[in-house]
Amino acid sequence: MTISAIAIGCDHAGFPLKDPLIAWARERGFMVQDFGTHSTESVDYPDFVHPVARAVQEQEQTWGILICGSANGVAITANKHAGIRAAIAWMPEIAQLARQHNDANVLCLPARYLAVDEALAIAELFFSTQFEGGRHEARVRKIAPGFR
């Protein structure tokens, strides 16, 4: 893997997956910046998504991981940031396609539907898969805000 830095954030529903994902990333030599939350106490997910998305957008971190109950809220919020391609993955093959075809740079995980081992398998494939480029390159360029 060539990933050097990962920004991670979650809401209260995602908290149980966050620490295992941080440990997984650090075991592989990645630097990890934890943007919280730090408990299962109810919080508003945008408060944790925007700092992760900004860190990736401004290239302070290479990649992002966002976790909430369904992954929808974090993905919608992250994708408001220019240059962010946040993809929801509930199985490894979806994560692989998000990287291969969409050059996703933020992995969004639905904590209420994944066991820890499933989340780790998804992260493993997401971060070990390269963007294919080629025919997908032009499509990804069309994602940018203001494209006409």
Annotated catalytic residues are: 68, 101
How far separated are the first and last CA of the chain, in Å rounded? 35
- Residue by residue, DSSP assigns 20-80 as HHHHHHHHTT-EEEE----SSS---THHHHHHHHHHHHTTSSSEEEEEESSSHHHHHHHTT
